[in-house]
Amino acid sequence: STERTLVLVKPDGVARGLTGTILSRIEAKGYSIADLKQVYATRDLLEQHYAEHAGKPFFEPLVEFMLSGPIVAAVFEGQRVIEGFRSLAGATEPTTAAPGTIRGDLGRDWGVKVQQNLVHGSDSTESAEREIGVWFA
Ligand code: CMP
C-alpha cells in the first residue's frame, strides 16, 4: 500500500547546497513530494524526533549538529517508500555507504563526533507517522 515517510536534508546537506540534488534523486526514483519546508529545529523538537537515542553518547553532538543550520523537511509518498528511501540513502556511515546511494556518493567523514550523513529517513510506518507529526504539526 502507499506509504509516507519523513525525509530530512540535514544541516550539512543544506549548507553544502545539496538540497536540490537530494530531493531530485528521490523524485527520480519515482516518489512524490507530499509536503516540503525549510525549518530551523529547536531542542524540544529534536528531543521528540530523536527520543529513541536519548542517553546515547552521540545524542548531544547530534542535537548540536541538527541545531547548527537550516534543515529541509519533506514528506515523500509511494509504494514501499520507507524501505525505498532507506535503500537510496545508504548506510549510516558515509565513508562506507555503497556508491550509488545518496550518502555513498555525496558524503564522507569530516572528522567530527557525529556522523554528518546528509539525510534522515523514517525506519518504520509507526516512526514515519510519529515523525511527520513532529515536523509537520
Ligand atoms: P539518523 O538516521 O538521523 O539517526 C540518528 C543519527 O545519529 C544518525 O542518522 C547519525 O547522524 C547519528 N549517528 C548514529 N550512530 C552514530 C554513531 N555511532 N556515532 C555518531 N553519530 C551517530
Alpha-carbon gap, residue 3 to 28, rounded angstroms: 17
- At residue 79, the pLDDT reads 98
Average of per-residue pLDDT across 61-83: 98
Of 76, 89, 10, the residue nearest 49 (C-alpha): 10
Confidence of residue 1 (pLDDT cuts 50, 70, 90): confident
**Dihedral sign, CA of 114, 118, 122, 128?**
positive
Ligand 1 lined by 122 (C-beta under 6 Å): no
Average of per-residue pLDDT across 93-122: 97
ipTM comes to: 0.89
Confidence (pTM): 0.96
N-term to C-term CA, the chain = 24
Ligand 1 lined by 110 (C-beta under 6 Å): no
Domains and CATH numbers, the chain: 2-135 (3.30.70.141)
- At residue 111, the pLDDT reads 96
